Structure 1
Amino acid sequence: MSWSRRSLWSIAAIACGIFMITACRSELLPATVKVDPGAVEEVRAVGKFIAATSTDGYWDGETQITDVIIIDAASSSAAGALIKTSNLLKKSNWKTVGQNSDWIQMESDKWPGVEVTLESFASYGADTLMEDSRVAKAIRETLAHAKPESLIVADIGPAE
């Protein structure tokens, strides 16, 4: 069987196209991943809501949106606020999947693919939160009558 030049160029073009699509698959079909608003509301309900914002990260053609909620757990210590908040989430069938002295990570079968990381306000890093003027104002107003130790920051995003 003899191949014409035109056939060889056609095969080469198709092969090159297939290679480009597989090599750059995520860039051709970008996606945005955001958690179910019901999961955010469930976490928001465990304490006195102070403020909310969001962050986004981009990796391999996918933008992941993480909701960030600040709640007042009405506790006298950061450790107590962290434990109190996680215990309230456990009542809604969230399970601890990781933790250390500064944070607790939780997941729920009700919200597959969603991960919540609870962290004390002090260890989270106020500078990041204060970049959003609405959040900064709400935090300043709260701190006028509440202890900073009672504030919990909840990152609610896609599970890794």
Structure 2
Amino acid sequence: MTRWLAALPVIALLLFAGLGLSQLLSPQKGEFERVSRDAPDRAFETMEGGVVTYSQPPGDAAIVVNLFASWCAPCEAEHPQLVALSKAFPGRVYGILYKDSPENGAGFLDRMGNPFAGVALDPDGQGGLDFGLTGVPETFVISHEGKILLHVPGPLDAKAVREVSGALNAPREP
């Protein structure tokens, strides 16, 4: 009987370690939701020489904001998805160049093609932190009122493009 009692802490520790390992090996993407909140009220300088804020998005429809960098391999991998979104929703896809120089960003977009209606600069990364960025690339759909409707962590894939398209096509709330 005493051996059994002595083994209980070891068994509990092994069960706890197994549970932790299973969570590490199969995380649920999107468990930490960032939707239904305001876009950050931050003014970004743009590559084009202007200023933009996504709490008051340009135009009168929902937009896509993609945070990317020239040094980011997953950003390069998702780029064809952004090009497709840009063709499907002209003038509604915007980029934020995260912790990168305008020269490197321009080179990246020259090489890959520029799907963005405008590109904001975030050289120190504070704008990304205001969005709740966990790592580039990340994509946000922002309503015309400045509310974050959808957050896609990581590179866009076909499923994510369908979700983004659905959010962009959703009827406006009165």
| TM-score of the superposed pair, with normalisation by structure 2 | 0.33
Find the structure with the greater CA-based Rg.
1
- Which one has the bigger strand percentage? 1
TM-score by length of 1: 0.35
